[in-house]
Amino acid sequence: MRRGQVFFSMAAIVAAWSAGAMSPASAEKLVLGNEGSYPPFSMVAASGQLTGFEPDLAREMCKRMNVQCEIVVMDFKGLIPALLQKKLDAVATQTKPLPERKAKVLFGRPVLFNPDSYVVPADKDYAFTKEGLKGVRIGLQRGSAQAKYVTETFGDAVQVVFYDNPDQIRLDLASGRLDMSLGPKISWTNEFLSKPAGKNWKFAGGDLWTGGGEAGSSWIARKDSQALLDRMNQSIDSIIRDCTFTKLRKQYMEVELLPEEAACR
């Protein structure tokens, strides 16, 4: 009788497998958050498809981890709250390691080094002090490391105008509704200074690391997800080592994002 029971159990397993109960659809699935409005790192095409370097990198990471991934687009300011509420398993948008963020989430290995700089009119030479920037209108992304840096450095000497995404900031710069902004040099070069709308603008104030003084930006996971973050790091490390990282990056920008890319030139 026991043999019959064993045979029946095995038959049930085979039947379940054939029916799809143990098909790839039941494989591990991760939900990743992405900003979706930070070209060339992430953007939503007219077709509605999420494109850009970070979504491509995330998809390659998931492939190597042998997991199914769904990438959810939301405003940057909502990513960490959604992660903490377990609506996301991880965030695949470059995030700077501010102390208050490190107290809440885990930071993975850097996915890029991208210093910030002020974007100002080409005919202006500001002194980056409270007195030198008094009354200046500066556009910043809500919830960003740059916004924290400016408010802590200049207080109410400047007029901070908050936006949900960088595209809105660039539009108001070009139209004269803002005097300056502060943001990552790679993004601002690709999306503004190198385009007709940015021909009368320049970088100023030197390179700044607004992420609590730490260089580099990373993807993040919850404090209870160290094992997941370790797997993500290992996968990204392999993508960098075999130069797939560089191949993906070159589809969107020429500048190298990590020192390890030198081996792939």
Which token pair is 142? 């809500």
Query: How many other CB atoms are there within 10 angstroms of residue 227's CB atom?
Result: 9
38, 165 Cβ separation under 8 angstroms: yes
Sheet of strand 37-38, all strands in order from the earlier edge strand to the far edge: 37-38, 42-44, 50-51
pLDDT at residue number 26? 60
Domains detected in the chain: 29-113+216-261 (3.40.190.10), 116-208 (3.40.190.10)
Spell out the per-residue pLDDT of the chain, length 265, in tens: 433 443 334 444 334 434 444 344 567 999 999 999 999 999 999 999 999 999 999 999 999 999 999 999 999 999 999 999 999 999 999 999 999 999 999 999 999 999 999 999 999 999 999 999 999 999 999 999 999 999 999 999 999 999 999 999 999 999 999 999 999 999 899 999 999 999 999 999 999 999 887 889 999 999 999 999 999 999 999 999 999 999 999 999 999 999 999 999 9
Query: How many other CB atoms are there within 10 angstroms of residue 195's CB atom?
Result: 12
* Planar angle of CA 185, 140, 172, nearest 5 degrees: 90
pLDDT at residue number 20? 41
CA gyration radius, the chain: 22
Q: Is 145 helix (H, G, I), strand (E, B) or coil?
A: helix
